[in-house]
Structure 1
């Protein structure tokens, strides 16, 4: 049952909101426009605030639904994190779009808030402080995400749970590696 649920979580992740919203609003393939990314940011650039908002909500809901489902089925906290990892992997590497998807931020955020709201509130506070300081959404977000495993560790979650949370964050960092390089190069010039 657990393996089946984790597999289903992956396939929920492959439901690409930006792709569907772009098809419905413009009849086009979002992968061939803008940055080519299948995420909320590219949808916002191409479709405006409405496109961004609908995409972001859809992507957040994927993470929320998967983790809430795992909680409802009374799966362990570790399995809840595994389902979150699976939905993020599905979003970043969807089999439905030849393994070229979004970057997973909204999906991860939705799942993390349902997983445990206390660590998420600490993360949100760190993000807002960093955003005010760095004035870069990408750098503030990624730096704040790096703190998440440590937040869990300081809040006395088990080592295995912290390692699984680290995997969540590592996936996001990997998906954003090009953006981070670009931002860091600009910052150092």
Structure 2
């Protein structure tokens, strides 16, 4: 492992640690998203708290946190196996941000951002899956869980050399959704459409 590889791991983690949800909520004077709504510093919770514009800003930046380090690592010539784990460290930064007391989000958008450089075909399939499940169920968390569960298989079919890293990411994200899974099981999870009506 070269010094450049170690630097890119550190860069990905530190960039991932910049919590756009917290910063955007501060910008719009919405308070700390970790203390409101679902308590998750992510785009869906910011949508509940502050509406579409803050949520869109959070979503865009969270995606870029994954895309930028992976693209940079690709152009710097990192080996595919190291490139894949740059993606993992970016998501770990989002989940356990050093700048915000290691209290982060679930990294769904950041994980999607890391997958974007693997190809628009894979990204489009994942978006399609997420939209269909969200439309049918109304649950953003269920859409995320099902989509990330299918992501390793879809990656294996399109870019098999990255399937293992995507599987690791999927496992981490599903673990971060354990409370959502419990609420879904007991039918206590909030639907996006209900929140929008409120």
TM-score normalised per structure 1: 0.88
Confirm whether residue 146 of structure 1 aligns to residue 149 of structure 2. Answer: yes
Structure 1 residues 1-189: aligned runs within 5 Å: 1-26=4-29, 28-155=31-158, 157-158=160-161, 161-186=162-187
DSSP-derived class of the 1:186 partner: coil
TM-score normalised per structure 2: 0.84
- Which ranges of structure 2 fall in alignment gaps of 5 or more residues? 189-198
Residue 115 of structure 1 and its aligned partner are, at CA, apart by 2.8
Instruction: Note closer, same or farther for the CA distance 1:24–1:75 as it changes in structure 2 (3 Å cut).
Output: same
Instruction: Tell me, in whole angstroms, the C-alpha distance in 2 between the residues paired with 1:77 and 1:105.
Output: 22
Which region of structure 1 is more displaced relative to structure 2, 35-44 or 48-57? Answer: 35-44
Contact 1:63–1:111 (8 Å) recurs in 2: yes
Q: Provide runs of 4+ in structure 1 moved above 4 Å.
A: none
Structure 1, residues 116-144: CA drift from partner, whole Å, max 9, x if none?
Answer: 33222222233333334434332122112
Structure 1, residues 16-46: CA drift from partner, whole Å, max 9, x if none?
Answer: 1011111122173333333332211222222
Contact 2:30–2:49 (8 Å) recurs in 1: no
- Which ranges of structure 1 fall in alignment gaps of 5 or more residues? none
Instruction: Tell me, in whole angstroms, the C-alpha distance in 1 between the residues paired with 2:79 and 2:120.
Output: 16
Instruction: Tell me, in whole angstroms, the C-alpha distance in 1 between the residues paired with 2:46 and 2:152.
Output: 30
Residue 156 of structure 1 and its aligned partner are, at CA, apart by 5.9
Contact 1:108–1:168 (8 Å) recurs in 2: yes
Residue 181 of structure 1 and its aligned partner are, at CA, apart by 1.7
Instruction: Tell me, in whole angstroms, the C-alpha distance in 2 between the residues paired with 1:138 and 1:111.
Output: 19
Tell me how many residue pairs correspond in the alignment. 185
Instruction: Tell me, in whole angstroms, the C-alpha distance in 1 between the residues paired with 2:70 and 2:12.
Output: 9
Contact 1:80–1:115 (8 Å) recurs in 2: no
Instruction: Tell me, in whole angstroms, the C-alpha distance in 2 between the residues paired with 1:122 and 1:29.
Output: 33
Instruction: Note closer, same or farther for the CA distance 1:151–1:21 as it changes in structure 2 (3 Å cut).
Output: same
